[in-house]
Amino acid sequence: MKPFAFVFPGQGSQAVGMLDAWGDHPAVRDTLADASAALGEDLGALIAQGPKEALALTTNTQPVMLVAGVACWRAWRAEGGVAPAAVAGHSLGEYSALVAAEVLTLAQAVPLVRLRAAAMQQAVPVGTGAMAAILGLDAQKVIAGCAEATAAMGQAGAEVVEAVNFNDPAQTVIAGSKAAVDKACEVLKGLGAKRALPLPVSAPFHSSLMKPAAEQLKAALAALELGAPRIPVVNNIDVAVEQEADRIRDALYRQAFGPVRWVECVQKIRALGIDTVVECGPGKVLAGMTKRIDAGLTGAALYDPATLAEVKALLG
């Protein structure tokens, strides 16, 4: 079997009924039961029934996307799928990757991401932060445009905007205070961006405004016993594979208020000698990014029994 990596999606790929196609698959059913018990809520009902508005609340989105990714992973393993050569996850998806690598148990991870989500929401009041996707502009120009917009706002740093998600060569997401993000969109269009699309999110994730949330997360991580990775995990913040528990904790802490370096993560996977990247979890967002980052890579998605069979056939 050719070497491959699994990558796990984050917020934005959620949808009501996103696990319905699995039916009563034991691995999926047991994952939902385990996660619901850990949180004291019926996550299966929320995923299956919604409503969409409840699923979109970050305090719900983060746990359900973690669980959905892990459910697909466990189904893969239950159906005889072998372990990948490496794993990674986009933003929140890094927690699914850490569960797959047995660094975190699902019972540890579900309450942890609920706390992460709640802390992020509390850090910046709804309506005062914003994010936008910048399309068709080189990442270095986006970084420069954000710096220009922040400087133009003045106010001794009260209004900030930063490049926070480097998703593919032509898509970078920015985040910060709403006024600064609006200003940056103007600046970046002037620098040649094809589009600047406001994102329907409730907080400026991965920006420096998330530092108070990260401090809460740091305290929670310190109380958890982490396992040694059974599979190499390429992290978002340093594009590094860590083995030591304290370094993994520190990377998760810094990831909360630092950028998701996804382009580099995919390039790192390629540098490990891997040419097939499988998105494990709802949607096909990361599979599409994979091909745009490196046309020499094969991108695939695994989100239901049919795609599981397709991935098995692809990997030979």
- Show which residues are catalytic: 91, 206
Neighbours of 59 (CB within 10 A): 18
CB 234 within 8 A of CB 266: no
Strand partners, 166: 172
Pairing verdict, β 129-135 and 171-177: antiparallel
- Kindly state the greatest CA–CA separation across the chain: 58
Tokens describing residue 3? 């070497």
Render 53-82 in DSSP notation, one character per residue.
Answer: HHHHSHHHHHHHHHHHHHHHHHHHHHTTPP
Strand partners, 196: 134
Which residues, in sequence order, are CB contacts of 52 under 8 Å at separation 6+? 15, 16
CA atoms within 13 Å, Cβ hemisphere of 309: 3
Helices 93-100, 58-78: axis angle to 10 degrees equals 30
Using CB atoms within 10 A of its CB, is residue 195 exposed (0-12), middle (13-18) or buried (19+)?
A: middle
Measured between alpha carbons, how far is 25 from 39 in angstroms, rounded to an integer? Answer: 21
Q: Give me the sign of the Cα torsion angle 173, 176, 182, 186.
A: negative
